[in-house]
Structure formats: C-alpha cells, structure tokens
Structure 1
C-alpha cells in the first residue's frame, strides 16, 4: 500500500440518468503526499467535482480504492474539509459563529481556535459581521476558516473563487497560499483557470473529457511567490494549455466527445 496521505487506485465511477448510464470517471490513479497543493483542471463535465465528492466521502458508489492514510474512505468526516463555490454560510449567524458552526464559542479551546482562524484568513474586526455585510471574497474566507476548524488532513476546494471578479479572485489566491504556507494542510483545488492552477499548485492534474481520465500530471517547479507575467510561468502555461487541448482533441478524434 502507498505511503501517500491520499491514495487513489483504479477509481471508476458510473451513474444512471433518465437518458442512460453516464461514465463519469475511469481508471483514476493518483497519490497525494501530506502537505502538497494539487490543482485539478479539465473541461466541464469531466468529473472534477465528482472526484472531490468521492474523496470527501460524500459519494461511495464507485469501484476502486480511495484511501486516506491507508484506510478506505467510508464516508464524510472531520479529517476532510470541503469548500464549495458558493460560501454556504448561515445568514443568521455572525462570522465567528459561522466558523464555529455547531461548536460553542463558550468553550475556551473553540474560542481560541476561531480567533486564530479569523486572523489567519485576515478577517480581524469582522467577527460580529453577518454574511450580508461581507463581500464575496470575505464570505469565502469564512468558509475556508470553517473548513479548517477541525484540523482536516485534507482540504478539498471545488472552484471556490469561480464566482468572484478578477481582482478579488487574484487576492483570494494569495490569501489561500498564505493559509497553506502557514498550516501546510494538504489541499486539492478544482478550477477551470489554468493560470490559477499554476499559481497555486505543486502539481497540476489534467483530466480528459468524459469519462474523466488523467491525461497528464504536470509538476510546477516554480518558486513562490509566483508572477503570472514571468517568462517561466507563461512557458509552463503554454505547455499545460497544449496538454489540455491535446486531451480534448484526442477525445473528439476517438468519438467519445460527440
């Protein structure tokens, strides 16, 4: 068995719809080590979100092995945090109470952890604010803090910045990297944005169109902090774009994308 934190072997996922059976994922093999930041890119419908849901334990109807620390993932748990594209905050709770969720802020340990997370996501001074009083980026920072509260072994992020404007999105990428550098939480981040994938990750996983298969895994050996306009960054972007387009073209040639 692999010593990686997350081990995926021969993952295959199919589901039924009113129009028949959909083959969402096929032959996924992937190891992710503790402390890694991995991004996953691919066209719409290639199974990126499905892959995250399986890792989170939200979807268990699949074949193959998906394990955390060598143990098959049996369902949701505090060892796996999840951040969705929408912030999903409780509108009637303040920032600090949204982060604490079902735990009481009267507990000193919870109070201290929430205070530290508020500082970590740069929301000091907004503890008593309600979601309606926050910008989109601030609301997502609350979501990230809530997902980190119980010290998950892996944080799963499903296009969390997809609905943000370009300036806020760029800022949130910096915030997330600061959190990762501070906590060294293993992160798996789904995105459609190649620049975002390169800017954040140690490795970029490229999925082919349905059924989702790993087309290639590209290491990102650029030092942090990264500059998107830098020659090395743009060179890697060009390489990944070629890989991405090649995967799509091969799929159409095979007839699977028709």
Structure 2
C-alpha cells in the first residue's frame, strides 16, 4: 500500500459569475504533494494559479471537488496552512519582532525563542526592533514568511511573493527561502510567473493551461541544491518547460 500524500487536490473545479455569464476558472485539477516537497506552479495570466492557492488555503470554499491536508478535508482557513501574499501585509505599528509574533505573547519564553530563531533563519538579525516603514521590500517579505512559519504550518502557500522585488533582491530572497525549506522541510506550494525561479526552487514544476485552468504537465527537477542557472542540466529542464509553454500558447491561440 502506497503512502498517502500530505496534500491532495481532488478534481477541483471553480467557476465565477460574470456579467457575461458563468466563466470556468479551473477544471478537474488533480495534484498530490508529498510531505517536504517544494512545488512551483507556473502558467499564463488568468489560468487560475492564485485561485487554486486560495482554494488549498481554505480561503475560497465555493468550488467543486475536494482538498485534503493530512488526509482531512479542508473546510476553511487554519494555522496548518500558512499563506504568503504578493505584498507583506504587516502591521505598521508593530516592530519586525512583534509582527512575527502577531497575536502570540512575545514575552512568552517559548515564543520569544522561536521568534529569535526565525529572525536568524530569515536573515533579519539586527532589525528586530525596526518598523515596516524602515524595512526594504525584501525584508518586509521575510517578516511575513517568518510570521507564517512561527505557527508551524504543514504547508506554506506562496502567491508570487517576490513579484514586486528587483532582480537582485529577488535572487537573494530565493536563497533565503531555500535556506528555510532545507532547514525546516516545510512543504511549499509556490506560484510564480518566472520560469527560472520555478526551476531553481522546485522539486517539481506544475505547468498550467490557460482558462479554464488545467494541469498540462508536471516536470520533476532532479537537480542537487544549490543550483546554477547556467548549468547545462538546468538549461535542459528550462528548454523542456519552454517547450511546454509553446504548447500552452498554441492552446491559448486555438481557443480564441
């Protein structure tokens, strides 16, 4: 008998009501994610990547099909599912340390020690008492990631968390996130538009077709960490992903 995946997305479908009638955003999404995997999801704009993430998080329950986490049906948001948005969404009146702790008592010895460890893990030592307005975009996003990790989620869901960052900061944040993943082995589901980022981070890359969003291909990335984007093995996988994207574009053009 095989292992049961930590996260199971079973025949998920999602439609929206518009002024022009019902529009199907997702169709028959089937995906199993093993504990400790780092899954990246890429596809054209409007293919339902973010919608899928919200369904997995329990933020959108108006869908068909089911999502199971640790073999239990997802029925709404919970601390078992951390969610990182495109922007940090920090409390401006709290320091970095207190934003990480949020509604947990920062003076509690166990919480304080966990916050301290996370600050070191996300490379924010020395900025514990800085307010959000005093942090760069990358630093603020690291606070948001640390806040999600403090709750010890079973899966961390990231919706284009580095999309607004400059190229240098984005590359640095990729390294920070890989450090976190390799230290904690938190299961990750990461949405991005960046093909190189998707390959650089992932154990598997999920490629989606345009609306209605379906899973076109799941490509394993059997490369050791740390990875070099200039390596021939990396470029070989990149070409395979690009080839699938060309088919996605053909699919999109045929649907118009």
TM (normalized to structure 2)? 0.98
Task: Determine the structure 2 residue equivalent to 1:47.
Answer: 48
Pairs within 5 Å for 1:110-121: 110-121=111-122
Task: Determine the structure 1 residue equivalent to 2:67.
Answer: 66
Task: Determine the structure 1 residue equivalent to 2:201.
Answer: 200
Task: Determine the structure 1 residue equivalent to 2:134.
Answer: 133
Pairs within 5 Å for 1:180-199: 180-199=181-200
Task: Determine the structure 1 residue equivalent to 2:174.
Answer: 173
Q: Deviations over 1:224-254 (max 9, x none)?
A: 110011111111111101101202212322x
Q: Aligned pair in 2 of structure 1 residues 194, 26: CA closer, same or farther (>3 Å)?
A: same
The answer on 1:250 being equivalent to 2:244 is no
Q: Aligned pair in 2 of structure 1 residues 2, 214: CA closer, same or farther (>3 Å)?
A: farther
The answer on 1:10 being equivalent to 2:7 is no
SS state of the match for residue 28, structure 2?
strand
Task: Determine the structure 1 residue equivalent to 2:87.
Answer: 86
Pairs within 5 Å for 1:98-113: 98-113=99-114
Task: Determine the structure 1 residue equivalent to 2:232.
Answer: 231
SS state of the match for residue 252, structure 1?
helix
Total equivalences in the alignment: 255
Q: CA RMSD in A?
A: 1.1
TM (normalized to structure 1)? 0.97
Q: Which runs of 4+ in 1 moved over 6 A?
A: none
Task: Determine the structure 2 residue equivalent to 1:20.
Answer: 21
CA distance in 1: counterparts of 2:226 and 2:69, whole angstroms: 29
SS state of the match for residue 164, structure 1?
coil
SS state of the match for residue 227, structure 1?
coil
Task: Determine the structure 2 residue equivalent to 1:29.
Answer: 30
